[in-house]
């Protein structure tokens, strides 16, 4: 696991798969040169971020209409991540929630937003280049 050490470490990608329902892209991430950490909730990701500064985070934007002051649980994660200038965030989202996603992307830096179904070629192009390229 990458704990923010420098040197010849592989870049780290944190995959947060809460709802899923799409292919597992871990092999794609590894082919792109990333060491992959995977968790099943934003809460678990927040715990991991105490000791890990990933180069890339790939997460789902799951709009939650029952939140009064937020659009999703991702906002807590993004507030932590924005402190690290090196971490890039890629979000997967449902097209019908795009108008809610805009509220999030206007407040936090998002590297790429990809609608479902995920286009693998676009996902590959969205991954920041690694030293393994």
Identify the H or E element spanning 45: helix 42-48
| Mean pLDDT, rounded, of the chain | 87
User: In sequence order, what DSSP letters do the residues of 36-85 get, joined into one string?
Assistant: EEEESSHHHHHHHTTT---SEEEEEE---TT-SS-SSTHHHHHHHHTT-T
Which segment of 4-13, 44-53, 107-116, 121-130 scores lowest on mean pLDDT? Answer: 4-13
Torsion, Cα of 41, 71, 98, 61 (10° steps) = -10
pTM check: above 0.75 = yes
Give the tokens for residue 73. Answer: 């649980």
Q: pLDDT of 4-15, one tens digit each?
A: 444 568 999 999
């Amino acid at each position: 696991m990458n704990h923010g050490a420098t040197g010849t470490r592989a870049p780290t990608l944190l995959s947060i798969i809460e709802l899923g329902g799409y292919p597992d892209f871990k092999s794609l991430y590894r082919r792109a040169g990333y060491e992959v950490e995977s968790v099943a909730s934003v809460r678990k990701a927040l715990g991991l971020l105490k000791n890990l500064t990933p180069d890339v985070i790939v997460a789902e934007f799951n709009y939650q209409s029952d939140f009064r002051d937020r659009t999703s649980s991702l906002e807590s994660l993004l507030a932590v991540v924005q402190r690290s200038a090196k971490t890039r965030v890629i979000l997967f989202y449902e097209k019908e929630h795009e108008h809610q996603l805009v509220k999030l992307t206007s407040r936090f830096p998002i590297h790429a937003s990809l609608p479902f179904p995920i286009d693998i070629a676009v996902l590959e192009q969205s991954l920041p280049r690694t030293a393994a390229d």
